[in-house]
Structure 1
Amino acid sequence: MDTTRTHQLKDGRTLTIREAAPDDAAAIVAYLQQVPYESPYLGFGPGEFTTTVEQEVAIIEDHIQSDNKIFLIGLIDGEIASVNNFAGGHRQRSRHVGEFGITVREKYWGHGIASHMLTLLLDWAKSTGIVRKINLVTRVDNHGAIHVYKKLGFVQEGVHRRSMYLDGTFYDAIFMGIDID
C-alpha cells in the first residue's frame, strides 16, 4: 500500500503524510522535544523526551522492517506538523493488536491533521492483513482528540483512574479502540 498522501488544508496549505525515514530522525527528535511545551495531554512533559537521534534512527528502522508497525509524519512546508507512531505486539498471540500515539504541533490544531493522519493509519492497518485491533489512551479532558477518535469509529472501552498527575491534579485516562475488519 502506498503510504504517502497529500491533503489540501482549510487554510490552503498542503499536508503531506508519509512514512518516516532514518534521515528524519533529527527533525523528529527536535519536534518531540518541542511538543510537550504546547500540550498538557501528552504522557511526557517538557524535558522528558530523552531519545537520542541514534535511538530514533533505530526506532524508525525497526518500524520499516516490521509488518505490524508504522511510523508516519505529517509535513507542511517541509516542517513536521504531526507524528503518528503505531506498534503491534511482538508475540504471535498479540501481533494483531497495538497502540498508537499521535501529536500535532499546536499551531496546526484545528486543521483536520489528526483526522488525516489517523485515516491513513486505519487504511494501512486494513491493508496489512495482520492488524485487527487498534488501541489508544487519552486523558478524559482531551475533548478535541476524543471527538476525532469517535468520528473515526473508536469506542471507549474503559477508564484508568488517576492515570496522570500534573500541577497538583490527578487526571483519569480513557481507553479507546477500534476493530479492523
Structure 2
Amino acid sequence: MTKNNTQVSLRTGNLDDAESVKELQREVLSESEFMISVIEEFEETTEQLRNWIQRILVNERETLIVAETEGKVVGLIVFRSKNTKRLSHTGSFTAMVNKAYRDRGIGKLLIKELLNWTEQNPLIEKISLGVLSTNQRAIGLYKSMGFVEEGRKIKEVKFKEDLYVDDILMYKLV
C-alpha cells in the first residue's frame, strides 16, 4: 500500500512485460523533462525489449523490478552492471513511474526493493545513478535513502540553445 491508498505489487519483470515496459517508457519519455532521452529517440520494438529483458534475467548481477497496480505496470527500476572484471561489483539503475502514479511512494518502494535485492546479492557492492540537477524531488528521495553525490557533469544535458543541465552522479555502498 502506498500514499493515497494505492495497492501496488512489486515483482521481478519477465518476458511477458515487454509490451507494458514499452508503453511505460513511451509515456514517461513523452512527458518528462527529467529524462535524457526523448520520445523521438525511442524506437525499440517489443521483440527488442523482450531480448533486453532476457539478457537482464540471465545475468546474476542485474535485475528488472516492476510496480503493478490493477494489472497495469506503472513503474519500473532496472539495475545494470558492467561486464568487465574490475567494474563487476558496481552497477547503476534507472527508474521511472507513470506520471499519473507519481507522489504515491512507488519510486521509493522500487528503490527499497532494489536495495533489498543488492543486499542479498554478494556480487554487488556499489549502486550508482545519474540524476538531472533540475530534478530536486528525485535528488531528495535519493539522499533520504542514503545516496550521496560523488560528482557532477557540468552542462552535460542540452535541452535547447543556452539551456543546459548538470548530471549529478550519486552512489550508495551496500
TM-score category (smaller protein): over 0.9
The 5 Å alignment of 1:133-172 reads 133-168=126-161, 169-172=163-166
Matched, 1:26 2:19: yes
Q: Please, what TM-score do these two structures have when normalized by structure 2?
A: 0.96
**What is the CA distance between 1:164 and its match in structure 2?**
0.8
Identity level (%): 25
Corresponding position of 2:85: 92
Question: What is the total number of aligned residue pairs between the two structures?
Answer: 173
Corresponding position of 2:168: 174
Corresponding position of 1:124: 117
Residues 163, 170 of structure 1: 8 Å contact kept: yes
- Misfit runs of 4+, over 6 Å: none
**What is the CA distance between 1:38 and its match in structure 2?**
2.2
**Mean alpha-carbon deviation: is it higher for 95-104 or for 45-54?**
45-54
**Mean alpha-carbon deviation: is it higher for 30-39 or for 148-157?**
30-39
Which is helix-richer, 1 or 2? 2
Q: Deviations over 1:30-86 (max 9, x none)?
A: 211111122100111122211111111111111111110001111111112111111
Q: Deviations over 1:98-144 (max 9, x none)?
A: 11101111111111111100001011001010100000001111000
Question: What one-letter code is carried by the residue in structure 1 that aligns with 2:137?
Answer: G
State the SS of the aligned residue for 2:168.
Answer: strand
Listed as ranges, the gaps of 5+ residues in structure 2 are none
**Mean alpha-carbon deviation: is it higher for 125-134 or for 167-176?**
167-176
Matched, 1:115 2:108: yes
Question: What one-letter code is carried by the residue in structure 2 that aligns with 1:135?
Answer: S
Which of 62, 75, 78 is the matching residue for 2:68? 75
State the SS of the aligned residue for 2:5.
Answer: coil
State the SS of the aligned residue for 1:111.
Answer: coil
Task: Write the distance in 1 (CA, Å) between the matches of 2:8 and 2:154.
Answer: 36
Corresponding position of 1:44: 37
Task: Write the distance in 2 (CA, Å) between the matches of 1:13 and 1:177.
Answer: 29
Residues 82, 88 of structure 2: 8 Å contact kept: yes
Q: CA RMSD in A?
A: 1.0
